[in-house]
Structure 1
Amino acid sequence: MAEVQLGDITVDVVFKDIKNVHLSVCPPDGKVKIAAPIRMNLDTIRVYAISKLAWIKQQQRKLREQARETPREYLNLESHYVWGQRYLLSIAYSENAVGVFLKHRKIVLRLPPDSDQEKKQIMLEAWYREILKQAAQPLIAKWASVLGVTVSKVFVQRMKTKWGSCNPKAQSIRLNSELAKKAPACLEYIVLHEMMHLLERHHNDRFMALMDSHMPNWRSQRDELNRAPLGYENWGAL
């Protein structure tokens, strides 16, 4: 581990067995991290970081300005979101028919009488993962056909810093379960974005051109995601 100082910004540098430099501005406070190839000189990394200084400050500003959800308490009539729409939570206790159901404008959470807040959270988050997986499968099939690529594995999980990721070598993609709370168009944008990395690994001009040709309005979907409230995280527990 090393550090590079850019004025009042400290950049944490980690050397890894990789070929390219990876720069991240991480929530919640905009901490800057660089993963660099093992043999890369620290002065070279400093020059690279300086070249990205304007982008770093822009990302830090976005993180400071972005709204965040308050901690969820999983109480009756608490607001939760599904596919961009607001629903009220309805807690029902039962020994039978345990599960999560949408009924009108409510998310009905039916669980055993002795269930605590943690159990409610576990059940609801599992439900979000499941509905996201179901919604993502036809989108993946659609874009696999259009792009001529194959997705071998799809993972859905809670991700703190990304909406999705792709492993081109393993032909796998990961999707943030929080996408189930956002508008469906946002999910399709992320699915296409990650699958596009099977054709082009880097966010270069070719990648942008491919996105433009297949989803001309992708920037508006990206901006909608950037404006959406971030899920609450107990960052102090990391």
Structure 2
Amino acid sequence: MNTANAYLTVRGIDIDVIYKDIKNLHIGVYPPMGRVRVAAPRRLDDEQVRLAVIQRLPWIKRQRELLRSTDRQSEREMVTGESHYVWGVRRRLKVVERPGGAHVEVDGDRLILYVSPGRSVEQRRAVLDTWYRSQLREAIPGLIAAWESKLDTRVPDWTIRRMRTKWGTCNRETRRLTFNVELAKKHPDCLEYIVAHEMLHYFERNHGERFTKLMDDVMPDWRARRDELNNAPLADEKWG
């Protein structure tokens, strides 16, 4: 079956569209980030797909909220034996309670969290979150520098935030890039894909045909990276 891809933004929601030799249009909302995918018959054009998505927006938003609720419910208890991902590798958490400053170390297949005795779940989680952010702060500058050279452009400012539905954003007015802290849990190739993706928004605002061609030109394997990113676990999971 022959297929073709398109990328639309409908009222702030990014939509992946796959045109196929099928009779009916199908809309799906997928974990972990509530990614919206549309399988559409070839007889439809982008505007017809956009209208169909608008008609289903209430349902799409409900599905995305359900995914966010599930994510909140699955928050880890931050105890020894859980698993947490670091750069795409699953590691067993070991919590060590001892006096002194809190910090995190990677030791083989273990992620060791050192905290003072009696620290709450929220305090333990905050320590790990800070560590994930530090991992990104070390990795992102080199990637930005490489892509600044490749794209002959400059990133004046960037930041890290926890976001529910996006891996990254680009403010074209300020040229500021924002990256989801969850990227520190994914394979480094996924982070590079997001860096390149957001920087290309300097040249093209929307996820249309021109944006797709730009991505194809500078990162031919971007679809594989995108799929790896979106198919990888988002929330931490129990070890086992």
TM norm. shorter chain > 0.5 = yes
Q: Offset at 1:143?
A: 0.3
- Report the counterpart of residue 117 of structure 1 in structure 2: 121
Stretches of structure 1 that go unaligned for 5 or more consecutive residues are 1-19, 33-45, 233-238
CA–CA separation in structure 1 for the residues paired with 2:86 and 2:152: 31
The structure with higher relative contact order (CA 8 Å, sep 6+) is 2
**Aligned partners of 1:182 and 1:225 also within 8 Å:** yes
Stretches of structure 2 that go unaligned for 5 or more consecutive residues are 1-8, 15-28, 37-46
CA–CA separation in structure 1 for the residues paired with 2:10 and 2:98: 53
- Report the counterpart of residue 130 of structure 1 in structure 2: 134
**Aligned partners of 2:10 and 2:54 also within 8 Å:** no
Q: CA RMSD in A?
A: 3.5
Corresponding residue SS for 2:135: helix
- Report the counterpart of residue 226 of structure 1 in structure 2: 230
The amino acid across from 1:50 in the alignment is L
**Aligned partners of 1:27 and 1:161 also within 8 Å:** no
Corresponding residue SS for 2:80: coil
CA 1:186–1:157: 2 relative to 1, 3 Å: same
Percent of residue pairs identical: 39
- CA offsets 1:53-100 (integer angstroms, 9 cap, x no match): 69979x78x9689x9693211010210000110101111122235311
Q: Offset at 1:116?
A: 1.3
- Report the counterpart of residue 50 of structure 1 in structure 2: 51
- Report the counterpart of residue 12 of structure 1 in structure 2: none
CA 1:216–1:86: 2 relative to 1, 3 Å: same
Say how many residue pairs are matched: 198
1:193 is aligned, of 184, 197, 207, to: 197
- Report the counterpart of residue 18 of structure 2 in structure 1: none
TM-score by length of 1: 0.72
**Aligned partners of 2:10 and 2:50 also within 8 Å:** no
1:177 is aligned, of 159, 176, 181, to: 181
CA–CA separation in structure 1 for the residues paired with 2:117 and 2:140: 33
TM-score by length of 2: 0.71
Q: Offset at 1:152?
A: 1.1
CA 1:194–1:118: 2 relative to 1, 3 Å: same
The amino acid across from 1:92 in the alignment is V
Corresponding residue SS for 1:87: strand
- Report the counterpart of residue 164 of structure 2 in structure 1: 160
